[in-house]
Each structure stands twice: as structure tokens, then as C-alpha cells.
Amino acid sequence: MSSFLLGITIFIALLTVAGLYRVAVGKTIFDRIIAAGLVGTNGFILLILIGFIFERVSMFVDIAIAYALLNFVVVIVFGKYFDRGKERYP
């Protein structure tokens, strides 16, 4: 089971690199924001998987809760900041 979780962790890390490509390239600022949200979501899934691999779940789950809350707050704040009515998007 540990080697299975290690393979899953490496695969999700590669998917996170795909999200980072959209953060670096992506056309509008909103593409970059939702891609950063995807990177954050994959990030705390990776944290919980790393906790299972090292068998220190109780510590890594607390860090993952903090990451999930921060990820949500960041995306909501950017949504409020760029919600400028008729002003053009950057």
C-alpha cells in the first residue's frame, strides 16, 4: 500500500506541474487564478498523501486543513478584487 501511495503522489505532482503551466502562460488573469486554485487543491491532497507515506497522518492533516482554508480565502479575495464592474480586465 505504501508504494501504491507513493506512485499516486508522484502522479498528482505531475498533474500539479500541468496546472503551473496554465499559471505561467494563461491569457487572462482569471485563468491564472483558477489554475492557482487547482495547484492549491492538489497541494493539500499531496500533503495528506505524504502524511500517509511517512505514517505521520495526525501532523500532516492539520497542515492540510490550514492549506485548504488559505486556498479558499485567496481565491475569494482575488474574486472580490477583480470584480470591478465595467472596468476592463487586465
Partner 1 sequence: MLVQTIVAIIFILGGVFFLTVSSIGLLRFPDFYARTHAVGKSETLGSILVLAGLAIYNGWELSTAKVLFILIFVLIANPTATHAIARAALRSGLQPWTRKTKPNGKDDGNDNNIEAGTG
Summarize as ranges the residues that interact with partner 1 (CB under 8 A): 1, 4, 8, 11-12, 15, 18-19, 21-22, 27-28, 30-31, 33-35, 37-38, 41-42, 44-45, 48-49, 52, 57-58, 61-62, 64-65, 68-69, 71-72, 75-76, 78-80, 82-89
For 22-42, the DSSP string reads HHHH-SSHHHHHHHHHHHHHH
Maximum Cα interatomic distance, the chain, rounded to a whole number of Å: 53
Interacting residues of 34 by C-beta distance below 8 A, sequence separation 6+: 75
Q: Please, which residue, 11 or 54, has the CB nearer to partner 1?
A: 11
How far apart are CB 29 and partner 1 at their closest, in Å? 9
